[in-house]
Amino acid sequence: MNTPWLYPLWIAHRGAGKLAPENTLASFRLGLQHGFRAYECDLKLSRDGQAFLLHDDTLERTSSGQGSPADQDWAALSRLDAGAWHSPPFTAEPLARLEQIAAFCQANGCAINIEIKPCPGEETRTGTVVAREAARLWAGALPPLMSSFKPEALAAARDAAPELPRGLLLDKLWEGWFEAAEALGVVAVITNYWLMDKALIERLHARGWRALVYTVNDAAIAERLIADGIDGIITDAVDQLGPA
Ligand code: G3P
Ligand code: MG
């Protein structure tokens, strides 16, 4: 491992998106209350190219909207309720734009892992715009770690903002993943936790890459990974694991 690693070990998933509505500023505030100083969140584009936080390809589960956000302008998306679905105290919480997250993180000394989560067919456009915006919004600050399951999106991010660190997300060790990570110029590989063991951590470290996992909500699993040398743990369980 030759690159310095300035990111905290513990990373709150989707903001801190179990106890508060995922991917909203409310979830970031909740993570801060539990002592977290690093977040993962999911980024998409509206039809008119605004970068905002949403996990699913459709709006129904986590907002009052319907259909694909890729078919709607930010003016309409900004009026949606992204909190009531979670619980009454979060009613009227809006969708969050990337620039609000940049302001929050920099005001509170927090690091971020921006997962580029394009709607289908939007991989290159989303990677390009989100990386360009992230480079602008975090200029002079600890840079966001840009990640994606989609190599096309990460390649677009690399081309738009080569200076931002990148991590390839893996939900399985598909044929050619190592070579793809090489070609993308990653600094980290982020896997589903059940794929990660000591041998893989050592293989990644030997290549000079960091090893991160999602989504660990069990103390015994976290302890095993820490003993094996893991560099980052993405968790939902901000009230049970990690900082306080
Ligand atoms: O970035 C790691 C993790 O968030 C990937 O899974 O589906 O929660 O975005 P998902
Ligand atoms: Mg994610």
Contact 32, 108 (CB under 8 A): yes
Say what percent of the chain tops pLDDT 70. Answer: 99
Whether 13 sits among the annotated catalytic residues: the reply is yes
Looking at residue 3, its pLDDT comes to 66
Provide the b/e sequence for 19-47 (b: ≥16 CB within 10 Å).
bbbbbbbbbbebbbebebbbbbbbbbbbb
State the catalytic residue, choosing from 13, 34, 86, 205: 13
Give 53-95 pLDDT, tens digit per residue. Answer: 999 999 999 999 999 999 999 999 999 999 999 999 999 999 9
Q: In this model, does residue 2 exceed pLDDT 60?
A: no
What's the average model confidence in pLDDT over 185-200? 98
Give 134-167 pLDDT, tens digit per residue. Answer: 999 999 999 999 999 999 999 999 999 999 999 9
pTM, two decimals, is: 0.98
- Report the nearest atom of ligand 1 relative to the CA of 215: 3
Q: In degrees rounded to 5, what are phi and psi of residue 186?
A: -75, 160
CATH 3.40.50.1370 fits 10-56+98-235, yes or no: no
Q: What band does 244 get if pLDDT is binned at 50, 70 and 90?
A: confident
Q: Does the CB atom of residue 169 touch ligand 1 within 6 A?
A: yes
Q: What is the DSSP letter of 83?
A: S
Contact 98, 39 (CB under 8 A): no
- Mutational test site, ligand 1, from 55, 114, 230, max ligand atoms within 8 Å of CB: 55
Looking at residue 35, its pLDDT comes to 98
